[in-house]
Amino acid sequence: MIKNKTFLITGHTSGLGKALNIELLKSKNKIIGISKSRSNLKNLIDIEVDFLNFIKLKKKLNRIKKLKKIDYVILNAGLLGDLENLSKIDIKKFQNILNFNFLSNKIIIDYLLSSKIKIKNIISISSGAALKAKYAWGPYCVSKAATKMMMDVYSIENNKINFINLAPGLIKTKMQKQIFYTKKKYSSLKKFKYLYKNNLIDSPEIVAKKLINFLPKIKKSDIALYIDLRNE
């Protein structure tokens, strides 16, 4: 069990992020949450900001500059975006997904690296979409692949910090709900629709417990590891 650690979690007000908060607060961990809305949980530090507003995001991060250490940074916030052929996706919508899923993480990481805060682990919540293209998932796949490579580069440039790409598997969140209710009939969606309909996808609470139980097992590595939580 993890106790008395300091966490910075993005996208902490719903889905996996919220479930992590609830579980971690049971063990007297300190949580700083960054999201576009405020959490309804007590005993955590809320930083409310739009991830697409990079100027405000940088300013809001100054709220944590007096921290001495962060044991685990969990970059969890993400958007799926439109499920459509890549050639049909408007460039502005594409850029928004890249900004939200990819570049906002760079802003957060760069701030932490330039600060005096001692950072131990930076974990990006990744996906199989970072490794394998999926039909009609263009912006999401690109953003996840870019984030994985960014983590890989950071890891070889900052060998005192553990950088981890952690894929938790499918989670019953708003993202899976979006896939289930889309009217598009792409073959790449059939599996997800079937699993969602038959309640075969783990809840955020189950995945949060698995993730937290895995954290103490993380070993220092000179390269960013890609870890599929389902195999641990």
- For the chain, the helix, strand and coil percentages under 3-state DSSP, each to the nearest 5: 45, 20, 35
Domain extent for 59: 6-171+203-231
Residue 160 lies inside a defined structural domain of this protein: yes
Angle CA 202–175–155, to nearest 5: 85
pLDDT digits (tens, 9 = 90+) for 146-198: 999 999 999 999 999 999 999 999 998 888 888 877 877 777 788 888 888 88
Q: What is the reported pLDDT for 40?
A: 84
Residue 186 lies inside a defined structural domain of this protein: no
Q: What is the reported pLDDT for 129?
A: 94
CA dist., res. 151 & res. 33, Å (int): 21
pLDDT digits (tens, 9 = 90+) for 17-55: 999 999 999 999 999 999 999 998 888 999 999 999 999
Alpha-carbon dihedral 124, 129, 130, 136, rounded to 10 degrees: -120
Pairing between strand 118-125 and 162-167?
parallel
DSSP bridge pairs for 148: none
CATH number at residue 47: 3.40.50.720
Q: What is the reported pLDDT for 187?
A: 79
CA dist., res. 214 & res. 227, Å (int): 11
- Split into its structural domains, the chain has a count of 1
Give the CA radius of gyration of the chain: 17
DSSP bridge pairs for 130: none
Q: What is the reported pLDDT for 226?
A: 95
Tokens of 84: 């459509």
Residue 99 lies inside a defined structural domain of this protein: yes
Residue 179 lies inside a defined structural domain of this protein: no
Residue 80 lies inside a defined structural domain of this protein: yes
Q: Which of the 8 DSSP states describes residue 51?
A: T
Q: Is the pLDDT of residue 140 over 80?
A: yes
Kindly provide the residue ranges of all beta strands, DSSP E only, lying in the chain, ordered along the sequence: 6-10, 30-35, 45-48, 69-75, 118-125, 162-167, 225-228
pLDDT digits (tens, 9 = 90+) for 66-124: 999 999 999 999 999 999 999 999 999 999 999 999 999 999 999 999 999 999 999 99
